[in-house]
């Protein structure tokens, strides 16, 4: 169903965000024009992105952000409109109250991360600097709510218009910074581990380490098969991200040359999609990223198209440019390391827009709303479950994508993590497709 869009100036920003909302999310075919006469003569669905209404079209009064090619520090005033927080209010009560396209672009382009902002010790964007946190909509996919509201207004204007249907979808990803807790770590690391257990008088850990090394018991982190089966039983898509870098301060997996490590990655890849957990050090030097991708490809003999940045050391746009340069198609790093919610205020995938170069890329960003590190801040599984359920409720309201990433340590059925694994299993069964 074709929609003609009029704008006096058609910029890369306009094409990007109009395509995302109208084409990708609403399923409409669109074309652009700056010819007023052609627009007026067009006798089907049409939208003007213009200060005044031209004819009997759906009109959006624009803010200036999409007409600019600069990165400017806008003064943004967030208001409440019929229960939804909005900004770029244009006062256009005849068609739509605010510039949904400009506001959506600001959020999904991560515009505010190009501006001066607070950073933590790892150089990560501090979520307390974000517009969503300051205005208390971080836990809501507010862009998705805007699009739903926009759709209802379009239906009132164009009664015969038809939209793509979307359905709630829950999926998981498992990140593996360390494949085994005790197995395969080599003589020196094993001896140092035993000494550390003695010094701390951690009898349970010392016992577990010993029986694992004697091959009398399975390693506590060797839980991949049970995790895959749990997701399969719930009808949920999952994949696993392995760290495959050299050993360093923040990257502490088994050696790439460890036989047990290679065998495990190969084994898992036979039953589940395997992707790359790119190392902390690779965020500083892309040559490490290239080597890690080659290593994983050599192990699984499959293309490696998806990536997640270890420790979420995501530096926009540098990190994404490195991913694009090396041919990655999907990123799963878009989340905050210490807060639940939506970093780009949407639950749905979207293409990365390189704001400095003013270009739409082919890298798909898959927003992650929550991870185990965030949930563990709530101390108890029952409290964490409440947080997950609240976000799930919002995502279901807009038929969005609920993407959760967990570390393989938290889904272990051993010791203290047993209650966490039990909670996750119940949650997946409750909200899965089966």
The string of DSSP codes covering 57-126 is SEEE---SGGG--S--------EEETTEEE-SB----SS-SB-HHHHHHHHHTTGGGSSS--B-TTSPBP
Q: Is the pLDDT of residue 400 over 90?
A: yes
Residue of 206 and 268 predicted with greater confidence: 268
- pLDDT score for 200: 82
pLDDT tens-place string over residues 305-363: 999 999 999 999 999 999 999 999 999 999 999 999 999 999 999 999 999 999 999 99
- pLDDT score for 192: 79
Q: Is the pLDDT of residue 415 over 80?
A: no
- pLDDT score for 434: 65
Instruction: Say if CB 248 and CB 283 are below 8 A apart.
Output: no
Instruction: Say if CB 393 and CB 382 are below 8 A apart.
Output: no
- pLDDT score for 213: 85
Instruction: Say if CB 273 and CB 171 are below 8 A apart.
Output: no
How many residues are present in the chain? 434
Query: Taking all residues of the chain, what is their mean pLDDT, rounded to a whole number?
Result: 94
- pLDDT score for 370: 95
Q: Is the pLDDT of residue 1 over 70?
A: no
> Maximum CA pair distance of the chain?
83
Using alpha carbons only, give the angle 144, 95, 26 rounded to the nearest 5 degrees: 35
Q: What is the pTM of this model?
A: 0.95
pLDDT tens-place string over residues 148-196: 999 999 999 999 999 999 999 999 999 999 999 889 887 778 777 778 8
Dihedrals phi, psi of 296, to nearest 5 degrees: -65, -40
- pLDDT score for 210: 84
Evaluate the CA torsion angle 333, 339, 340, 346 in order and state its sign. negative
Burial state string for 340-367 with b = 16 or more CB within 10 A and e = fewer than 16:
bbbbbbbbbebebbbbeeeebbebbbbb
Partners of 169 in beta bridges: 401
pLDDT tens-place string over residues 3-53: 999 999 999 999 999 999 999 999 999 999 999 999 999 999 999 999 999
Rounded Cα–Cα distance for residues 413 and 404 (Å): 19
């Amino acid at each position: 169903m074709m929609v003609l869009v009029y704008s006096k100036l058609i910029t890369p920003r306009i094409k990007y965000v109009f395509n995302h909302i109208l084409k990708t999310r609403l399923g409409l075919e669109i074309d652009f024009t700056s010819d007023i006469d052609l627009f007026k003569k067009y006798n089907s669905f049409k939208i003007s992105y213009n200060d005044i209404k031209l004819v009997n079209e759906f009109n959006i009064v624009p803010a200036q952000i999409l007409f600019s090619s600069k990165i400017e520090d806008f003064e943004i005033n967030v208001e409440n409109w019929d229960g939804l927080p909005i900004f770029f209010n244009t006062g256009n009560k005849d068609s739509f109250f605010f510039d949904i396209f400009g506001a959506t672009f600001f959020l999904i382009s991560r515009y505010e991360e190009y501006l001066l902002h607070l950073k933590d010790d790892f150089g990560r964007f501090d979520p307390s600097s974000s517009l969503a946190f300051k205005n208390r909509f971080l836990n809501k996919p507010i862009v998705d709510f805007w699009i739903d509201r926009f759709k209802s207004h379009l239906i009132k204007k164009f009664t015969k218009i038809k939209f793509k249907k979307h359905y709630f979808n829950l999926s998981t990803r498992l990140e593996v910074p360390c494949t085994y807790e005790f197995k395969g770590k080599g003589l020196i690391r094993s001896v140092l581990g035993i000494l550390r257990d003695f010094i701390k008088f951690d009898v349970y850990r010392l016992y577990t380490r010993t029986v694992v090394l004697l091959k009398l018991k399975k390693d506590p982190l060797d839980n991949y098969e049970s995790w895959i089966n749990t997701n399969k039983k719930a009808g949920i898509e999952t994949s696993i991200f392995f760290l495959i870098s050299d050993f360093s301060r923040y990257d502490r997996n088994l050696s790439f040359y460890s036989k047990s490590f290679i065998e495990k990655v190969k084994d898992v890849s036979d039953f589940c999609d395997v992707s790359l957990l790119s190392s902390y050090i690779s965020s500083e030097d892309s040559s490490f990223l290239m080597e890690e991708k080659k290593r994983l490809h050599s192990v699984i003999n499959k293309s490696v198209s998806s990536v997640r940045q270890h420790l979420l050391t995501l530096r926009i746009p540098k990190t994404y440019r490195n991913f694009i340069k090396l041919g990655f198609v999907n990123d799963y790093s878009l989340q905050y390391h210490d807060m639940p919610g939506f970093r780009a205020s949407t639950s749905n995938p979207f293409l990365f827009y390189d704001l400095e170069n003013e270009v739409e890329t082919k890298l798909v960003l898959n927003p992650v709303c929550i991870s185990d590190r965030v949930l563990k801040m709530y101390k108890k599984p029952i409290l964490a479950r409440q947080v997950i359920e609240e976000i799930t409720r919002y995502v279901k309201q807009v038929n969005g994508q609920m993407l959760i990433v967990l570390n393989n340590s938290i889904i272990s059925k051993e010791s203290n993590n047993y209650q966490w694994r039990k909670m996750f299993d119940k949650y997946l069964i409750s909200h899965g497709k089966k």
